[in-house]
Amino acid sequence: MKSNDLNQVALGAHVKAFPQNLPVAFWEAQSSPWQLTYVSPTLAQTLPGIPTSSTNFWELIHPEDQVLVKKYHQEAINSQKPQVIEYRIYLTKGTYIWVRDQFEASPNIPSQLKGVLTNIDREKKQQELFSTQENLIKEIVQVTAHKSGQDYFEQIALSLSKILKADYLAIGEKLINQEVIRTVVHCGDHQIIPNFSYALEGTPCQFVVDKQTCVYPDKVAQQFPEDTMLTDLEIEGYLGTPIFDHEGNGLGLIWALYKIPIQNTGLISSLFELFSSRIGAEINRLKADIALLESEKRFRRYFKADKAIQLLINPENQQIEDANPAAEAFYGYSYTELTNLKITDLHILEEQEVIQKLQEAQNEKSNYFQFQHQIKSGQIKYIEAYSTPLEVNQRTYILATIHDITESTQNKLDLLKEKQFVDSIIQHATEGICVCHEVESAPFVKFTVWNHQMEQITGYSMDEINTLGWYQTVYDKVTSEKAAARMRQMRQGKDLVREVWTINTKDDSPRILEISTTTVQNEDKVPHILAIMKDVTETQRAKQALEARQSRMRLLYQITSNVAQEIDEQLQQALKLTTDFFKIETTFISHIEADNFLITNSHSTTNMLGAGTRFSLDETICQLTFSQETVVMINDLKKSRWKNQLPPIDFDSKAYLGTVVYVFGKKYGTICITSTTKAHPFNEIDAEFINLLSRWVGNLIERKIKEKDLRESEERYRSLTESAPVGIVLHSKGIIKYINPFGLQMLEATHEQLIGTPVSQILHPDSAEVATERIKMLYEKKGAFVNPLEEKFITLKNNVKEFVISGIAIDQDGQPAIYNVFADMTHLKQVEKELFKKTNQLEKANKELEELAYVASHDLKAPLANFQGLMMLMTAVNAINTSGEEYFEKMQQAVQQMQDTLHNLNEVIDMKQALGATKEELSFQQVFDSIRASLETQITEAQATISVDFSLAPTILYPALQLKSILQNLLTNALKYRHPDRLPKITIHTKLCQDQVCLFISDNGLGMDLSKSKEKPFGLFKRLHTHVEGKGMGLYIIKSIVDSHAGHITVKSEVDQGTIFKIYLGNE
């Protein structure tokens, strides 16, 4: 390929001086036909690995990208506008490099292209690695979030083994004072296998423990022949990462073994290094209890022996509580004198300033300070102090480690101002390229080259930056000093190599740059700085977002790994850790019911919004939070999108982050992070964190409510058991474990006499077999009651009592047990015997009465018939004279009445004997139609209106003659006792009442006076109306029938108004 010089006008005046190692390559090409006409010598540096003999990189473009490249080449020629594309270039088979190509048509020759090629392979692959890491971290976090102890070790090992496809993976702990590793968890083929111990000597782990991550991607068994396990397991690749505690002390390591060469060592090592701190924290936590016992003694020993100056200060009253010998020597005071002083006595600052600094140290807003202290001699010393808050006996102290920096402070020199030079810059590069050199007066740096991309990145033109100044515009004061110091190092030959710096652009937005520099000299030997600046803001923000998410996941680990016994302690610790992490004022949990807002848990550095605080909901920001389904995040109330939805009152919150807490699937309250003192830039990652935290809080509150309900349930159960009016006894393996007070009373015993004794001691021998069978049945039907049984028991006063007893089989402290309920039926049995005796006597008496009535009725028939025959003969022979006819007629009437009475009495006896007749299903309508037909003459004569409705209960199971007798007697009475002044109206209907059929019959007849006795109408031969012929037996027969079926009759009646009969026909 032919080589020529770049167009000097387009590419700048310094091309020839451009360093050969610059990571960009320049090219030219013509379009008819398409071919490269020039490629800069920097191609090999830009594309490491490209054949040195090849300058035609077009031939190496990935086949899938060639069409895209040709399309944009043609677009640049057609549109005469710059084009930027990204594509891949093959180096060898299976490997390629990502490049960014920026090109445009030459202003002088429209068919010619000029371009700049930049290597972006690292950026692309870093993005892919970040994405892979984030997904793997989320997966592992999800399965290990709520694990701790050995469960955590096993879960993290299995998860890492599965995700990283390791053949073997283990977490090992180094034994104290021994070069031996003992595995905490060991898994192979993604299963937990037995742990083991091994010596470090001769193994790859020897170079990991207490050191750094080591990777042997292949042939590890050959490199460590003494490690027979590697050979036995046919291991090819090894990767191990050390585990440290928070102080940097080695605890052990985590390693993975592969039977094939390791391909993704970067991913594995990054995951191991990420989770090693969490694993170390868990190992440390398990040792914490032991370490805590020794910590105070060790602290005291170190405190006194430390050569550094140590003071222990009470921040509440500024008192110096303790001092080591080094402090006595430095300040010139004795121990007694020092501990009688306040820290304010040593300061030259005002007391309020000292108190403020102590508060900053206590709240960990800062742990490094520089002060001036006055020692006993009166001399002023410059000191630097490192502070650490310490919890001692539930009180916070400040441990101050002090160093004398008087000499170094006085000998500090002003930093040298460095001049910068940039030799050459290309206007069409995608990176910002600039050249600057030092000038003596402000702005101290002058730029001679400032490409278009620099203007795009910063927002300033070269004239503006030379007028306003580089340091003065893009850096704050602290960063400006740091940049000046770095520039000095560059002048000494220490170039920047992709160092990351943050600048402020013209529109005051921060941008993150990756800067590489080299120092060159022009003809007059003046040093110039050539800088290439790449805008990596989005990449860095993605990295920062990943780190932020990881830090919040670690915080969530720490919160959810808390093993405090009390739920409120766990919640309180979670709020404290969250407040400390965000370095903010208050974190609280609320419970909201209707319009009431109650803070249930709170941690505040200012003692505001404490637990128990109540508000009206409409006076809080939480009113908005509670109404939303998403996280409410406010960094600036006036600029917040929520400002129009807040209540119309003043809020003093500078920052707010809150979301709803759900308990049992319903909104319970909120969890909020808030500050009234300073703003805090909450972001979406913080919103994710508080969302996860709210779920964990909701789960804890659910558990708390369930535990409370369980305690209340147990208390109610015990109260019910203790006050129950029946005996309750619990026995396991035949031994009495519990008996309630009523049971003790029935067994005439005390608690001490029965608890722990065999249940057989109180069981009567007659009931032993029944009781054994009952207990066997209870165990077989575990969890179900069996039918009550009657058993005999012997009280402790040797009285025999009969109990009815039932029970259920349960588990008691992991053992099978029987829970029995029993009642004393001794007295009931006696009453039952008496009742049985009385019943027999009554049945005998009734039988005798029935026999007497039967005999009387039949024995009187013959004499009465004879007497009637004699009277007929006397009439036939005219034996009665005129004076005796009146008496004879009366005798005839008396005989007829006696005959009627005997006939009726026989009817009653026949009815009584028929009460047990067989039942059959009858239709009310059919029975009524039969009766109506037999009474048709009386109905017509009385001009009666009869209304019937049997739809609600159309049928009944009943003896046919009895149902007909009931209906016929009631209907006959209604017709017989009708009112003389109005036509009779009779209504008959049925319906179901209390699980039995009821028959209703009402009329508008004469009615009855029931004020004296409601039972009188139902007596045998009882009549309330004597002006109408009757026997006084109808209602008596009806009541006898109904009573025999366990039914009953109610009657309502008023004289001259009518009567209503309601007959419950019975369900027996």
Mean pLDDT of the chain: 81
Q: Tell me, what's the pLDDT at 423?
A: 43
Question: In the CATH scheme, what is the code of domain 724-824?
Answer: 3.30.450.20
The gap from C-alpha 395 to its chain's centroid, in whole angstroms, comes to 34
Domain 306-410 belongs to what topology?
Answer: Beta-Lactamase (3.30.450)
Q: CA 35, CA 112: separation in Å to the nearest integer?
A: 10
CATH superfamily of 128-292: GAF domain (3.30.450.40)
In 3D, which of 120, 26, 22 has the Cα closest to residue 517?
22
Q: CA 539, CA 630: separation in Å to the nearest integer?
A: 28
Write a three-state SS string for 745-813: HHCCCCHHHHCCCEHHHHECHHHHHHHHHHHHHHHHCCCCCCCCEEEEEECCCCCEEEEEEEEEEEEEC
Q: What CATH number matches the domain at 8-119, 3.40.120.10, 1.10.150.120, 3.30.450.20, 1.10.10.10?
A: 3.30.450.20
- Give me 514's structure tokens: 């990756």
- Give me 841's structure tokens: 């006597």
Strands 985-993 and 945-949, by their bridges, are parallel
Q: Tell me, what's the pLDDT at 113?
A: 93
Spell 954-988 as b/e; 16+ CB within 10 A means b: eebebbeebbbbbbbbbbbbbbbbbeeeeebbbbb
Q: Tell me, what's the pLDDT at 18?
A: 39
For residue 822, list its beta bridge partners. Answer: 727, 805
- 566-709 is classed CATH 3.40.190.290: no
| Domain-wise residue ranges, the chain | 8-119, 128-292, 306-410, 432-543, 566-709, 724-824, 914-1064
The gap from C-alpha 863 to its chain's centroid, in whole angstroms, comes to 100
> Same CATH fold, 914-1064 and 306-410?
no
Q: Tell me, what's the pLDDT at 377?
A: 92
Q: Tell me, what's the pLDDT at 973?
A: 84
**Helices marked H in 860-884:** 861-876
Domain 914-1064 belongs to what topology?
Answer: Heat Shock Protein 90 (3.30.565)
Q: Tell me, what's the pLDDT at 790?
A: 84
Dihedral (Cα; 818, 819, 824, 826), 10-degree rounding:
-20
For helices 861-876 and 885-913, the axis angle rounded to 10 degrees is 150
Give pLDDT tens digits for 350-394. Answer: 999 999 999 999 898 989 999 999 999 999 999 999 999 988 777
- Give me 230's structure tokens: 């590697």
pTM of the shown model = 0.36
Domain 432-543 belongs to what topology?
Answer: Beta-Lactamase (3.30.450)
What parts of the chain have a pLDDT lower than 70? 1-22, 132-133, 288-297, 411-427, 523-524, 563-565, 637-653, 783, 785, 839, 841-871, 873, 876-877, 879-890, 892-917, 1012-1034, 1067-1068
